[in-house]
A and B are shown apart, each in its own frame.
Chain A
Amino acid sequence: MLKVSIWRGVDEGEFIDYEVPMRANQTVLDIVTEVQRNQEPDLAYRFACRVGVCGSCAMTVNGRPRWTCRSHVNDVIDGDRLVLEPLRSHPRIRDLVVDLAPFFETWKGSGAVFKPSATRDDKPVKITADDPARKNADAGIECINCAVCYSACDVVSWDKNYLGPAALNRAWTLVNDAKHGERKETLNKALGDGGCGSCHSMGNCTRNCPVGLSPSAGIAGLKKFALRGLPKVEKP
């Protein structure tokens, strides 16, 4: 049997212990689902795709933020114990569910909002796969907005002003994107208040990103652009 402690409540609450049978190839999300189906029908948690695509199942598992659907119990278990808590640095809603609205607000703060540089009547920009700016953008483009990096970041946890790794990673992809019409504005926002200057470059975001992206590399790149200016891209 697995011993699973799950946070019940909102800010006030307690860990409740459950026992769940061990099975082959169990993910942490399987465990939560098993508890909810068989022992605690009103346990609140969130998931959708179950295959690491939607980014909605992230929780704190034995102290570290993870996608629960892609975390195998065997890889994350501590002895025979699993401790499950909501993601840190987000307002809590109930049990394992947090409110991601403030997280998505940070994307506006960092200028990570796409503005087209052309209309449907214009010819599309020609971007080759080996274009250096495109390669920069590609390095960060696969983000699925799961907020794991944001929750892993210590600066986010203590500095309410800080935009965090995910929003800055997205800004990094946009300043390198020839199709984005406000590259300069995005760079200025990403380097503005609560932006890249607040990052301590310790790389917890990169260490924990389940996709293997490196938001800290994007932030370092944005800092370089602060000194050198934006890279050249194809004109629309």
Chain B
Amino acid sequence: MTVVRGLFIAQRYSAMLLAPFVLIHLALIIIVVRNGLTAEEILSRTNGSTLWFVFYVAFVLAVTVHAPIGVRNVLNEWTRLSGGVVNVICLCLALLMLSTGLRAVFAVT
């Protein structure tokens, strides 16, 4: 198994998770906005909810895996940056997504 093949597999499987996740997330936003819930009302429903905690942690993990691999492909194809530099950039991006994403999940659940 080569690194590139491993990344390809990780990106495919994370995409399989993200497809339903994104749909649920969008549906959720639409329902919430349509019902005109206030921030407090939303927080009262998400705070302490294991379901939403697990869902959004999984969401954040899937994004953290999926997006930086894609950005790595784009940078490798479209810029003259060396492979090492691209890897560092994408690793930083992954850490940034992971930390900000988890921070948000902990804040609302």
Contacts and interface: CB of A to CB of B under 8 A. Distances in A.
Q: How large is the interface on A (under 10, 10 to 19, 20 to 34, 35 or more residues)?
A: 10 to 19
A192 B4 contact: yes
Given A159-B77, A197-B73, A223 B2 contact: no
A35 B51 CA distance: 76
Per DSSP, chain A at the interface is: helix
A193 B4 CA distance: 6
A111 to B, nearest CB: 11
Which of A155, A196, A198, A226 has its CB near the most chain B CB atoms (within 10 A)? Answer: A226
B55 interface: no
Interface in A191-206: 191-193, 195-198
A74 interface: no
Contacts of A101: none
Contact of B4 (A191, A223, A227): A191
A188 interface: yes
Contact of A191 (B2, B13, B77): B2
Interface string A62-90: 00000000000000000000000000000
Contact of B5 (A158, A161, A192, A198): A192
A197 B73 CA distance: 8
Which of B1, B4, B12 has its CB near the most chain A CB atoms (within 10 A)? Answer: B4
B77 A198 contact: yes
B33 to A, nearest CB: 36
A197 B77 contact: no
Given A188-B2, A192-B2, A193-B4, A226 B9 contact: yes
B8 interface: yes
A226 B8 contact: yes
Contacts of A193: 2, 4
Interface string B1-37: 1101101110011000000000000000000000000
B4 A195 contact: yes
Contacts of A192: 2, 4-5
A189 B8 CA distance: 13
Contacts of A159: 77
Given A159-B77, A198-B77, A223 B8 contact: yes
Contacts of B13: 227
Interface string A11-23: 0000000000000
Nearest 6 interchain pairs by C-beta: A191-B5, A192-B2, A192-B4, A188-B2, A197-B8, A159-B77
Interface of B: 1-2, 4-5, 7-9, 12-13, 73, 76-77
Interface of A: 155, 158-159, 161, 188-189, 191-193, 195-198, 223, 226-227
